Structure 1
């Protein structure tokens, strides 16, 4: 009841959310903006490079819209999308562009994290990762739908899946410091496998890069001859060199397949492996001049198969020194086996992106067999990791076997207290 001259106090309206409770979900708007920024930061330069090449080509009769669609298809191809062209399909991803796309996604998410920290807003790991991945995948699908034409059309399903994969991995790299703790239900030996597996994938990529560098050095005369035969001109030569540089990570994956012993194909019925090389007519790409000559290879080439084994052993040793030690020989061997399986899965994924078709006919099969290469690499890396575990145990046993003895109470501090001695250690008096 109110008196004259006084007003009743207005009650606050219910808003449906307690203002004192902190928000657990981020605002999707900034994350969508981050995804748009990640897409445009690479798509626009790719389109501009294609337009520059079109301007420099005096013999081109294509329209500007057609050239822009070619640039969009190249960007989509880097995201694992199969692009259907007249009479065939393009399915080999230029992994250099894929790597740049992942770095663009990582940079965009890190900028979003900086904005969240400055505004004191939450940045939960799972919701942020899911929102950005979904937004990036949908934008990739939108580009695929807009760029479709009668000359080239990217598969919408593969564009969506590839966009989620590339964008998700880039966002995961940025959000990794915010990841939640490993659930207690996950065994320690299982949780300890991802570090050596990631190190093994990076090590194999480095080995594949060394193989490509050695091949380019050995076949540099053929590469230069093919480049001159194309007469690309100054601007065209620069663009051709840049395009082949972006293709080098794809060739590095081929190098990983070569060191595994499975090899790769450059056309239907062809094979490039340590056991020998069988080639047909190759596409006019200068970097392919570094491929070995057809015929049998020296028996010493089979020594390259030891590289995945050594990489697996080295990754296991480094992880054991830097990470949390797994107790028990059987558990350490189980970690080594899981390491091999995860490494094989990573190599299989990279091989799937680096293989496919480059048109029709004899170029319908290019690159390594993803499943075969992944399975073989998994076995080789697991063998190297298990060997490292067993040799490490033998080394420690040789340096000093553990002895458990009972010392008198005056020496051990309490009667019957067991004391562990290593090697030549002596009980203190």
Structure 2
């Protein structure tokens, strides 16, 4: 329906996508700018931090309340449960946790994902799509992580890690949530000034690298599910040996869920070849499994057992080439190739992007859960990153080069010159 001026009423009713401060940000200054443009972002950041903290602390407090009648816990203050929950929340941001003289450095990536989601949901629901709002939200969230770290009697190094981890988590989650606000500008419009300065082969190749890594992570998640199904007998034996009550079992299950993303990253390292370790002297690869004494945790019962390596599993790293080929086909359909070298540049960009991202995931999923041999858990970022990069590069080039018209034309011209030189030689 249109009015006499020919304007679509539905279009006029639709909220505009703007690049400046939104008119709903509250009272305005004399110059027309919102007086409290930072307030919605600050509240979104605080809400995201407190919600994720509550989800982690609540199970610990519940376990304390249920077991408070036990004489063995008579000397344990209720604040200890909140300290443990807050410490687990902090380690999800990269701050080490001290437990009984041991230091836990293995990040539970599930808690990190929880914090990202609460930031995203808070920003999308009540934030304002402005730079001021985003900065205020990051500052509020980071302030919460620093305050909790100081209350835990942490060191200066821990406070620095809290600042870095809190800022990284909140910036990612809040920015993603604000980008989904109805008044938010399109991400493509915001990134075009910077992204357009990169040559097209590198832009398209980097996107292909992210796509290849997403395929690998999906395959690793499927492998993790197969591990759990195959090891359900061992998992059940461990659960029976622990003899936990309902509350203790529930708390343990929640704690294990926090480390499920870590297992997925370990499965990624296993798929691509280098494998991973759970304690010094152990090795879990597709060719061989060297195990050792491990903590009595049901989730670890899903890991490959000794004797399960070799056979057809040796060919598992070939999945890298297949994933690279899929990324190469995607690259072929979207690369505006004008030079014969463009597929090579794009393939190198895809390999570098996939390798660096895989190495970053391995760094986040590695650490330790105590002194001695259990201080070495995870995989080698360099080995996994280089293997992923090499496999993706091979797969991309196997598809992108033969299907590129400019590259084929250059090959024909080079072959013709070689033939002509051979025929003219005496």
TM-score normalized by the length of structure 1: 0.78
Query: Aligned pair 1:52/2:66, yes or no?
Result: no
Among 329, 332, 337, the alignment partner of 2:343 is: 332
The alpha-carbon deviation at position 389 of structure 1 amounts to 0.8
Which residue does 1:192 correspond to in 2?
A: 204
d(CA) in 1 for partners of 2:137, 2:353: 25
Query: Aligned pair 1:388/2:399, yes or no?
Result: yes
Query: Aligned pair 1:147/2:152, yes or no?
Result: yes
Change over 3 Å in CA distance of 1:135–1:18 after alignment to 2: closer
The alpha-carbon deviation at position 172 of structure 1 amounts to 3.3
| Structure 1: unaligned runs, 5 residues or longer | 1-16, 117-122, 402-429
| Structure 2: unaligned runs, 5 residues or longer | 1-27, 180-185, 413-426
Change over 3 Å in CA distance of 1:52–1:376 after alignment to 2: same
Three-state SS of the structure 1 residue aligned to 2:98 is strand
Three-state SS of the structure 2 residue aligned to 1:56 is helix
Are the counterparts in 1 of residues 358 and 385 from structure 2 also a CA contact under 8 Å? yes
**What's the CA shift string for 1:304-358, capped at 9, x where partnerless?**
112233223223433554x564443422221221122122222222211111110
Three-state SS of the structure 2 residue aligned to 1:89 is strand
d(CA) in 2 for partners of 1:201, 1:242: 28
Which residue does 1:99 correspond to in 2?
A: 113
**5 Å matches for 1:260-299?**
260-295=272-307, 297-299=309-311
The alpha-carbon deviation at position 214 of structure 1 amounts to 1.1
The alpha-carbon deviation at position 22 of structure 1 amounts to 5.5
Three-state SS of the structure 1 residue aligned to 2:284 is strand
CA RMSD of aligned residues (A): 3.0
Further displaced range: 186-195 or 95-104? 186-195
Query: Aligned pair 1:137/2:151, yes or no?
Result: no
**What's the CA shift string for 1:257-282, capped at 9, x where partnerless?**
11111111110121111121112101
Query: Aligned pair 1:368/2:371, yes or no?
Result: no
Among 18, 28, 53, the alignment partner of 1:43 is: 53
Among 157, 162, 183, the alignment partner of 1:159 is: 162
Three-state SS of the structure 2 residue aligned to 1:180 is helix
Which one has a bigger Cα radius of gyration? 1
d(CA) in 2 for partners of 1:131, 1:158: 20
Change over 3 Å in CA distance of 1:366–1:218 after alignment to 2: same
The alpha-carbon deviation at position 164 of structure 1 amounts to 1.6
The alpha-carbon deviation at position 136 of structure 1 amounts to 2.4
Among 209, 213, 218, the alignment partner of 2:225 is: 213
**What's the CA shift string for 1:339-398, capped at 9, x where partnerless?**
22122222222211111110111101011122332222222222222222124338x979
d(CA) in 1 for partners of 2:233, 2:85: 31
Aligned length: 371
Which residue does 1:246 correspond to in 2?
A: 258
Are the counterparts in 2 of residues 26 and 124 from structure 1 also a CA contact under 8 Å? no
d(CA) in 1 for partners of 2:54, 2:149: 15
d(CA) in 1 for partners of 2:296, 2:157: 24
Are the counterparts in 2 of residues 144 and 159 from structure 1 also a CA contact under 8 Å? yes
Among 72, 79, 83, the alignment partner of 1:69 is: 83
**What's the CA shift string for 1:31-84, capped at 9, x where partnerless?**
221110010111012111111122233454532111101001111111122223
The alpha-carbon deviation at position 85 of structure 1 amounts to 3.7
d(CA) in 1 for partners of 2:232, 2:156: 36
Change over 3 Å in CA distance of 1:106–1:194 after alignment to 2: farther
Change over 3 Å in CA distance of 1:304–1:182 after alignment to 2: farther
Change over 3 Å in CA distance of 1:20–1:314 after alignment to 2: same
d(CA) in 1 for partners of 2:340, 2:157: 50
d(CA) in 1 for partners of 2:268, 2:302: 16
Change over 3 Å in CA distance of 1:326–1:160 after alignment to 2: farther
Further displaced range: 343-352 or 152-161? 152-161
Further displaced range: 66-75 or 186-195? 186-195
Three-state SS of the structure 1 residue aligned to 2:289 is strand
Are the counterparts in 1 of residues 321 and 394 from structure 2 also a CA contact under 8 Å? yes
Further displaced range: 36-45 or 328-337? 328-337
The alpha-carbon deviation at position 246 of structure 1 amounts to 2.6
